């Protein structure tokens, strides 16, 4: 599993961005895929996760209703569509792969390099 995250950038509050995470490995569809984020001086926090079994998703309360996670197994890619962005969403966003659905980052074995999302007020 080799994860490459992209799609970050600078956006005004209320705007939208779509993050992508591509896996160059051959076992993408066997992993739960998640997004975490880390703001300066803060702990890494869970954002969303999608199951490889049925595509079901779990979201952090702070993003529920604004962010949507999806996956395309044929393209070995997951997406995070972020809408109604707020300055509090500013962070480095990381995608991760693990053997099971979890909201805890230690349970993920593989990590992308991170992509910066900055939301201006």
Low-confidence spans in the chain with pLDDT less than 70: 26-29
**For residue 64, what pLDDT is reported?**
98
**For residue 110, what pLDDT is reported?**
93
Measure the CA–CA gap between 73 and 27, rounded to whole angstroms: 10
Tell me: the pLDDT tens digits for 86-119? 999 999 999 999 999 999 999 999 999 999 999 9
**For residue 28, what pLDDT is reported?**
62
30 φ, ψ to 5°? -95, 0
Measure the CA–CA gap between 61 and 102, rounded to whole angstroms: 15
**For residue 53, what pLDDT is reported?**
82
Cβ atoms of 113 and 5 closer than 8 Å: yes
- Which of 101, 81, 68, 104 lies closest to 20, judged by CA? 81
**For residue 75, what pLDDT is reported?**
87
């Amino acid at each position: 599993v080799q994860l490459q995250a992209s799609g970050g950038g600078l956006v005004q509050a209320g705007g939208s961005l779509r993050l992508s995470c591509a896996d160059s490995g051959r076992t993408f569809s066997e992993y739960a895929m998640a997004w975490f984020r880390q703001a300066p001086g803060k702990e890494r926090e869970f954002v969303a996760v999608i199951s490889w079994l049925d595509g079901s998703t779990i979201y952090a309360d702070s993003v529920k209703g604004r962010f949507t996670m999806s996956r395309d197994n044929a393209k070995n890619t997951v997406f995070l569509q972020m809408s109604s962005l707020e300055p509090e969403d500013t962070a480095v966003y990381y995608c991760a792969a693990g053997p099971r659905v979890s909201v805890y980052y230690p349970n993920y074995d593989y990590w992308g390099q991170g992509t910066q999302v900055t939301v201006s007020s």
